[in-house]
Amino acid sequence: FDRLKLRSPDIVHDLPNGGKRLAQQAEGYVATFVSGQAIRRNGESTAARPGQLVRNAGI
């Protein structure tokens, strides 16, 4: 836990029609897994994109 840190939040413009969102990166994680596949290793994205996008889940 001592290695884990949050970076300052940034505004990124990567949504459709120029939409923006707040993104906050973290440091110190070895890997992030989704559906059993690593999507990030040592702070770098991998090519894996498992799962699917969830839109309007009845909210």
Using alpha carbons, select from 35, 36, 33, 31 the residue that is nearest to residue 51: 35
Per-residue pLDDT of the chain (59 residues; tens, 9 = 90+): 898 999 999 999 999 888 999 999 889 999 999 999 999 998 899 999 998 877 876 76
SS3 percent helix, strand, coil of the chain, rounded to 5, is 5, 35, 60
Place of tokens 């909210």: 59
Residue 52's pLDDT is 83
Residue 59's pLDDT is 63
Structure tokens at 17: 């029609």
